[in-house]
Amino acid sequence: MKRDILSSGLLTALTLLFLFFTSPALAQEGKSGWGRFYHPYVPGEVIVKFSDNNSTTLRTITGIYGLAVRHSLLKGNFAVLKLPDYMSVEDAVSSISSERGVEYVEPNYIRRAMVVPDDPLYPSQWGLQETGMADAWDHARGEGTILVAVIDTGIDLNHPDLQANLWRNPVESPDGIDNDHNGLVDDIRGWDFINGDNDPSDDNGHGTHVSGIIGAVGNNGRGVTGVNWQVSLVPLKILDADGAGSVSDEILAISYAIEKGVDVINASFGGSNFFSNAERDAIQAALNAGILFVAAAGNGGIDFIGDDNDSSPFYPSGYGLDNIISVTAVTRTGAIATYANFGTTSVDLGAPGDGILSTLPSTYGSLSGTSMATAFVSGLAGLLQSVYGNNTGFRGIRQMILESVTPAGALQGITVTGGILNGARAVSALLPPDGLAVRGVTDHTVRLEWNDNSTLEEGFRIMRKEGTGKYIEAGTVAAMNTFEDTGLFDGTDYTYRVVAYNSWIGESDPSGEVSAVTLLSPPSGLTAEAVSTDSVKLRWLDNSGAEDGYLIERSEEEGGFVEIARLGSNVTEFTDQGLRSSTTYHYRVRAFGLKAGESSWSNEVSVKTTSGTAPGPSGGGGGGGCAVTGGGSEDGGLLISLISFLALLRSRNRRS
């Protein structure tokens, strides 16, 4: 291996970090590859379960919201509804859930086949299998919009397993004109900084091999697969046929990568002990541009025995900048390769680097070295960018990679993380929760539950909105998948969604939405007072802020309760009239609302009406004369005394 060769320009030469070739394998033809991070549910569709007469409810909600029925399921108890263009799935779940006759509404979630790529050499790619990429591909397979710059010996531009994933400059044309005004004419597929032309073809093999690890087209029935099944590889040639190049060309390549807005730079090269301010400043510029810089830890000295980078720094991986990931190589047994450098503070993690099968110019073959290990990490960084790029920056992507490693005893104490790259855990770092459901509702609480799909979340943030308002944070929980929201208003429509969060990485996409209407608070303190022989006065406390009115029920003796009145809102008393005297009655009251339904009952009260006879009709008696009845009653005696007194008075007057 060439090391620290000085170029004619007195700049430190950059050297390849591989060891040897093994026998090549032949390419095979097949179908084209595909891959992306798919949406967790079908856009524009929801599934509705009905709780009552489904045909009536279905006609009602389709009419109100302008929905179309795609399918009826399970004897019509469920329906798959197509949403109008203006309505999101989240809005549909929130709105339709509140309709009468609807038990629940949820997105039409997507389930995927557990795909293993059909590339014929994939079974020999042990590095992909040991890093859990098969599980990672269940969630993400790459995006053509993600740009990974391969600063190396160039790339075989005609390799059938790479062509579809080679970047094309969108603002350049093969017309002899510098269309993008960067001083490089017709840089359609990157640039050759060694020869100063627009043909970054590989005359060594190293760059093609690294590129295949990062992004050979996956599942195309041909050769090998890359960590990314889809990606845009940007060839930037700075190393010659012997694998050597200058820092000045490296700086030009980094500047080009910054200009074109790449997401990741793969740097499978380096040299020992020669610190370059210019090189560090260029990588700092990439940091400022938000670009992750993945660099090889180095392959030891001329004895091919790994060195301690803490005491003998290796550059550019050893500059300690926040955008650098320094990578060493491990074997398929999980041991650090004998030739691989290490460092407790200067080397971040290990990745497969020994006997790695990948693309070579016009063919396939195996190489070993920290260069290969670096390409695995760059590939995973690109894959993570396709999943989380809208939620986090390069620091978050870097943290996902470092926090998700598989602990390895061979790397403990000699690397920062003490672990080996784990693609499955990294891709699942902050997957959105799903299965959000309401598990309990009272007048002032809602209890939620969801599925935790993340591997690196520090906790979950529960977001709530009231009615059609804006989302606010209702609370956070750590290491739990349940939450009880308290202190709510009664009879109120609330909508929830949940996100996973990590202080370094950021937040996941939100879960699906779920809605709940809190129950109405029941009236309390019910009292009853018998105010006459035929009436009772009821009074109670109004505890609800959302009732449309109150419902009063009464029972007599051993009979059942029956409704006797419905009152308006904010009423706290009622007089029940037309009752029988000396009779015991029982009462209870509850609030009702058009949205929230009915509250639970108040306390029950009992009361007995007063005794006595109500005035009746006059008795019969002939000739219109007065009939005196009473049978010794007090009223009858008084009447007789009055008549006698009047007769005596009349007799005295006549005498006078």
Quick: pLDDT tens for 433-477.
998 999 999 999 999 999 999 999 999 999 999 998 999 999 999
Lowest pLDDT segment from 59-63, 334-338, 362-366: 59-63
Q: If pLDDT is split at 50, 70 and 90, which confidence band does 28 have? A: very low
To 10 degrees, what angle do helices 370-388 and 206-215 make? 40
Once rounded to an integer, what is the mean pLDDT over residues 216-228? 97
CB distance 18 to 367 below 8 Å: yes
CB distance 234 to 262 below 8 Å: yes
Q: If pLDDT is split at 50, 70 and 90, which confidence band does 619 have? A: very low
The verdict on whether 206 is a catalytic residue reads yes
Tallying the residues shown for the chain, one arrives at 656
pLDDT tens, residue by residue, 284-333: 999 999 999 999 999 998 888 999 999 999 999 999 999 999 999 999 99
Q: What percent of the chain has pLDDT over 90?
A: 70
pLDDT of residue 40: 67
Query: Which of 346, 371, 511, 521 is the catalytic position?
Result: 371
Once rounded to an integer, what is the mean pLDDT over residues 549-559? 91
Does the pTM of the predicted model rise above 0.85?
no
Q: Residue holding tokens 């009772």?
A: 536
Q: State the DSSP string of 486-524.
A: -SPPTT-EEEEEEEEEETTTEEPPP---EEEEPPPPPPE
Strands (E), 535-642: 535-541, 549-556, 562-568, 573-577, 584-593, 597-598, 605-608
Per-residue H/E/C for 169-183? CCCCCCCCCCCCCCC
Q: What percent of the chain has pLDDT over 70?
A: 86
pLDDT of residue 21: 38
- Choose between 566 and 23: higher pLDDT: 566
Query: Which of 152, 240, 307, 493 is the catalytic position?
Result: 152
pLDDT tens, residue by residue, 158-209: 999 999 999 999 999 999 999 999 999 999 999 999 999 999 999 999 999 9
Task: Tell me: pLDDT of 63 over 90.
Answer: no
pLDDT tens, residue by residue, 100-137: 888 888 888 876 655 789 999 999 999 999 999 999 99
Q: Compute CA distances 63 → 46, 47, 59, 78, 595, whole Å.
A: 16, 17, 6, 17, 19
Q: State the DSSP string of 138-173.
A: TT--EEEEEEEEEEES---TT-TTTGGGB---TT--
Q: Which amino acid is at 323?
A: N
CB distance 328 to 347 below 8 Å: yes
The verdict on whether 209 is a catalytic residue reads no
How far is residue 303 CA from its own chain's centroid?
50
Handedness of CA 314, 320, 324, 330 (dihedral sign): positive
Once rounded to an integer, what is the mean pLDDT over residues 512-529? 95
Once rounded to an integer, what is the mean pLDDT over residues 372-390? 95
Q: If pLDDT is split at 50, 70 and 90, which confidence band does 15 have? A: low
How far is residue 543 CA from its own chain's centroid?
37
CB distance 239 to 204 below 8 Å: yes
Q: If pLDDT is split at 50, 70 and 90, which confidence band does 479 have? A: confident
Q: Compute CA distances 584 → 525, 604, 612, 614, whole Å.
A: 19, 13, 15, 18
Task: Tell me: pLDDT of 601 over 80.
Answer: yes
What is the DSSP code (8-state) at residue 100? T
pLDDT of residue 14: 55
CA-based nearest residue to 426, from 397, 464, 466: 397
Question: Burial level of 29, CB count in 10 A (0-12/13-18/19+)?
Answer: exposed
Task: Tell me: pLDDT of 8 over 50.
Answer: no
Lowest pLDDT segment from 86-90, 268-272, 273-277: 86-90
CB distance 346 to 317 below 8 Å: yes
CB distance 257 to 198 below 8 Å: no
Q: If pLDDT is split at 50, 70 and 90, which confidence band does 88 have? A: confident
pLDDT of residue 95: 84
pLDDT tens, residue by residue, 524-550: 999 999 999 999 999 999 999 999 999
What is the average pLDDT score of the chain?
Answer: 86
Lowest pLDDT segment from 247-251, 388-392, 569-573: 388-392
Non-local CB neighbours of 170 within 8 Å, separated by 6+ positions: none
CB distance 188 to 172 below 8 Å: yes
Query: Which of 95, 206, 358, 443 is the catalytic position?
Result: 206
pLDDT of residue 90: 81
CA-based nearest residue to 574, from 520, 532, 535: 535
Non-local CB neighbours of 333 within 8 Å, separated by 6+ positions: none
Top-ranked range on mean pLDDT: pick from 15-29, 68-82, 255-269: 255-269
The verdict on whether 371 is a catalytic residue reads yes
